[in-house]
Amino acid sequence: MSFEVGQNVRVIALDESISAKAIISYDNDDGTYDVIYSKTATEEAAVASKRVQPLFDFEDTSLNFSEVELKDQGNILFKEKDYQSAKLKYLDALDYLTSKCNVKSIGTYVIVPDDSVNEARLGMISSIDDNMLDIIYCDDMEPTEADGVEESSVTALLSGSDLDIQRTLYMNLSKCMMKLHQNGWCIKWANFAILAATCALLVEQGKQGERNESPERTNQLTSNVCDAHFLRGKCLLLSNRPKLATEVRRTTNQTRLRFVILLHSGVLQGSRCSIIFNHFSREPNN
């Protein structure tokens, strides 16, 4: 396959560990091309044609796609090891999703930044006064409150299938950041995935009350919480923070036990707690 000067392409690294978008700057007429990488503006000379691939049709930025289509495109790019482009697709999907559904009202679950520990917490809006929110935190056995939280500082969690897509995008963003060696962002997005998964489980608990009429659903939602905890543990290990990673694993087990008690769900089926960390960085979530 031949390419033209000025054409946007994808270039595979020499070790095939990653790929990235570039533009053909010169055709050497010997089966190699000089390229300029789109993100870094750096040039590489004499790139063999076997390392050059055309972009996918969906990478035409003039086209409009839904959040599900954007997520699926991100998954395709992730498999092509173009983690930077995959990340941008996931972020576009997240922006589209939240702009469509991001309504903050009393009773809305939100992600609240906690600067004291450089983390985030799960809360529910209990009161709204202009742009200030009162929050009841939902991530402790005993609910605690925070007053005067700026509305712009919190991230609304969605509901139903939109919440599941939101959680999946957080997981996939964390995996992209892991591949891009951006460990801080990797931990952040994994933490957001934990809170989104926890929110889904709490909502299911509220629907069912003390009766667990859908154990398969409960088990899957609890498994999602554990998946996110293990992904965050992987991120912490890569950040040379093994003690915190061990604590995350312990917290995962405690979280599972806590939800068993709250949901009266008995013994959970299909637990993924024994799956090794590497499983979570192989492929993006569907």
Q: How far apart are the first and last CA of the chain?
A: 31
Residue 146 has pLDDT above 90, yes or no: no
Q: What is the DSSP string of 150-214?
A: EGGG-EE---HHHHHHHHHHHHHHHHHHHHTT-HHHHHHHHHHHHHHHHHHHHHHHHHHTT--S-
**Alpha helix ranges (H) inside 82-147:** 83-101
User: At how many degrees (to 10) do helices 83-101 and 67-79 cross?
Assistant: 170
What local confidence, expressed as pLDDT, does residue 268 receive?
32
What local confidence, expressed as pLDDT, does residue 251 receive?
56
Q: 6-36 pLDDT, tens per residue?
A: 999 999 999 999 999 999 999 999 999 999 9
Q: 232-251 pLDDT, tens per residue?
A: 888 888 887 777 766 655 55
Of 5-14, 101-110, 130-139, the range with the highest mean pLDDT is 5-14
Q: Residue 220 phi/psi, 5° resolution?
A: -65, -45
Overall pTM > 0.85: no
Q: 45-97 pLDDT, tens per residue?
A: 999 999 999 999 888 776 788 899 999 999 999 999 999 999 999 999 999 88
Residue 43 has pLDDT above 50, yes or no: yes
pLDDT grade, residue 225 (50/70/90)?
A: confident
Instruction: Identify the residue with better confidence: 228 or 207.
Output: 228
Q: pLDDT averaged over the chain?
A: 81
Residue 267 has pLDDT above 50, yes or no: no
pLDDT grade, residue 186 (50/70/90)?
A: very high
Residue 270 has pLDDT above 50, yes or no: no
What local confidence, expressed as pLDDT, does residue 52 receive?
95
All structural domains of the chain:
8-55 (2.30.30), 67-100+158-281 (1.25.40.10), 103-156 (2.30.30)
